[in-house]
Structure 1
């Protein structure tokens, strides 16, 4: 019951996305399972030493530091909630520090490669055909790279969110915060092609979401992951090929072309500028690389 009430709190009071709530649930079930199996105690009985044992268990099982840090953040929120509800008097997380995570620059795909994927072709062959599935895949990539929206935001988009007159799209972000993101002319045209093609499909039900499956049902995260991975594999050999990589690519592209950091923050829907500033490191590294290649004394 503790987990269920906490997840309801996250959904209705904190207004977290379904994806985030699922992550919290997974972390908590793993933690409670560890306590029961290895220590024979409940979450309410756990002390700081028990939580440290859980961290050691995760690290011993080759769980990355950033993933462990996320789980510790989940536990911090969980125990803060239990204190608020009066289930606990002492917070066992008070003495817990998450493991230090080495700073990693956001991975992104170069503009030239994305242009090749979306507008050109590979070895003289066009990548997308005129079928519904192919055009749906293309609009998924176009939207992720052309607007920088998150996966959950993409899946929540409706056709009515598009404003062709203003050239914008309304995005429902984290904690149900709305923002307006501009659309470039090519993306507008591609959206019209996709929506017109979608209308011609003989779907049994009329789904209001913009992105749908081949059968006309609302699209789901794994479908988008498969789409992105499949097409990025054509143009990139890097390991990471997730939807979030296209969000990084969007931000890095804008920054490299001189966009204001505050404007990028608004476009991405970041709550603070600190989250956006990570992209400046990529820009600096790019300038260093150009400098080393071009300057005679570098």
Structure 2
């Protein structure tokens, strides 16, 4: 049943491989727990009591509440699928309640720190330096996800319109404007790239040092290396630059719906988390400047 469900997520729901792997790991963990209780039990035979006992065991093992909530969401989705396919008569996961968790604000890099990184750091003008600079500029200038960045092709970029087309979650396309600085870097970078590796690269924009398509860990290491020089933030990842993009836009008065569309969020609720950072900044200014504060 688990494999059938995972195929459903891949082919019908169009979930990413990373997301499907998370669902798979959660369900296999649940299956392992159930097997210890009774080797003859199947996942489709479980009731609410058994599912709840697994969740309780996770809490007792001090698993992070957010991780527990993800596993609860996995169970609810899995049994909803089984119920919709009439494989089970009753959904045993409907009564599972998520744990209460604090909602931390997204970490982001300060404006002056980003200015230092992009305007004052001396990137070497060869392929390697230009590629690293382009990776940072694209993350901060467009707010795209890591998976979206590594799949950018030459054809997805319109230098004439100064836009890039990316394929987001659930295969949803969106078009994002590019700054003049990014367009300029792309032009120079492509010339250097073609000079070094030739023009036959399966239409992939960003390449590794060996001329292959970039992979997530390589991009993550690149971002972390440069952020370590300019910020003391505990998180130094591509997603931090996505948070930084959204926060800085809202700080400058950008429309929330516009930021939602740029980020590729399916709902406004996912974007509203960035308004908290802007509100904290406003409160700080108020406390410092208002005579009655």
2:35 paired residue number: 36
1:17 paired residue number: 16
- Is 1:77 the equivalent of 2:77? yes
Among 282, 286, 293, which residue is 2:281 paired with? Answer: 286
Give the deviation of 1:147 after TM superposition. Answer: 0.2
Among 181, 188, 195, which residue is 2:190 paired with? Answer: 195
Q: Which runs of 4+ in 1 moved over 4 A?
A: none
TM-score under structure 1 normalisation?
Answer: 0.92
Paired residues of 1:58 and 1:68 also in contact (CA < 8 A):
yes
Q: Do the aligned partners of residues 55 and 275 (structure 1) sit closer, same or farther apart at CA in structure 2, a change above 3 Å counting?
A: same
- Is 1:65 the equivalent of 2:61? no
Paired residues of 1:207 and 1:217 also in contact (CA < 8 A):
no
Distance (Å, rounded) in 2 between the aligned partners of 1:35 and 1:99: 21
1:161 paired residue number: 156
Q: CA RMSD in A?
A: 1.8
Give the deviation of 1:81 after TM superposition. Answer: 1.1
Distance (Å, rounded) in 1 between the aligned partners of 2:247 and 2:21: 29
- Is 1:112 the equivalent of 2:112? yes
Distance (Å, rounded) in 2 between the aligned partners of 1:161 and 1:206: 14
Give the deviation of 1:150 after TM superposition. Answer: 1.1
What's the CA shift string for 1:243-276, capped at 9, x where partnerless?
Answer: 1111111011110001111111111111111111
**Structure 1, 178-187 or 68-77: larger mean CA deviation:** 68-77
Paired residues of 1:155 and 1:220 also in contact (CA < 8 A):
yes
What's the CA shift string for 1:189-243, capped at 9, x where partnerless?
Answer: 1112222221122379623222222112222222222122221111111211221
- Is 1:93 the equivalent of 2:101? no
1:7 paired residue number: 6
Give the deviation of 1:178 after TM superposition. Answer: 0.9
Distance (Å, rounded) in 1 between the aligned partners of 2:8 and 2:32: 22
Q: Do the aligned partners of residues 206 and 291 (structure 1) sit closer, same or farther apart at CA in structure 2, a change above 3 Å counting?
A: same
**Structure 1, 157-166 or 131-140: larger mean CA deviation:** 131-140
Structure 2 stretches lacking a partner, 5+ long: none
